[in-house]
Amino acid sequence: MDDKQIVELFWERSEDAIAETDKKYGRYILFIAKNVLSDDEDAREVQNDTYLQTWNSIPPERPTALRAYVGAICRNLALSRYRRKYAEKRQGCVDTAIEELADCLPDGNDSDRVASERIGDALNRFVAELSERDRKIFVQRYWYMCSTDEIARENSMNQNTVFTILYRTRNELKAFLEKEGVNV
């Protein structure tokens, strides 16, 4: 079943919408949740919460790319759970990835929606301009929260090469955002 048909099921309030979403994107959603949380039980709960939030948001939303839509919902839910669970202690890959980007992005205290959208648009343009290899590595690290070791294995490269690519890409991102007028 294609995304448009699944979205129609949500609009019709058919319970088949969740079953079809699970069939098509269940493994993808679980992959995102597990990468962020590193816990099977928490990941399953986030997967179920993703289906619930998707159910509650369609309608009124009518996403054209359901995979990206449920992926973003899942990632946001997983990161929220991660922050709650590890509020007082620093934990592995997610904290490290977030700290790596801290010097490249505004502090997040800007509640101005227009400014946030402008930063999001700039980030999308930046990522689109990266080479295919660098874009893949950047997305694996900062969207899927993969460890540098996982990225190195998946891309058949040395972990030091991954560190170097990420370091250079973050520096390029910072320069790009400054050029775009974003206060970093």
Residue 184 forms part of a structural domain: no
Which CATH number is 126's domain given? 1.10.10.10
| Alpha helix segments (H runs only) across 86-158 | 92-102, 113-129, 132-142, 148-154
Q: In the listed set 61, 85, 109, which residue is the last one of a domain according to the structure? A: 85
Which pLDDT does position 101 carry in this prediction? Answer: 72
Residue at token pair 């039980």: 41
Per-residue pLDDT of the chain (184 residues; tens, 9 = 90+): 999 999 999 999 999 999 999 999 999 999 999 999 989 999 999 999 999 999 999 999 999 999 999 999 999 999 999 888 876 555 556 667 777 777 777 655 545 556 667 888 888 999 999 999 999 999 999 988 898 999 999 999 999 999 999 999 999 999 998 898 887 6
Q: Could you tell me the residue range of the domain that residue 147 belongs to? A: 92-179
The answer to whether residues 73 and 44 belong to one domain is yes
The domain tally of the chain equals 2
The answer to whether residues 151 and 119 belong to one domain is yes
Q: In the listed set 85, 101, 130, which residue is the last one of a domain according to the structure? A: 85
Nearest Cα residue to 45 out of 74, 3, 21:
74
Cβ-count burial 110-144 (b if 16+ within 10 Å, e if not): eeeeeeeeebeebbeebbeebeeebeebbebbbeb
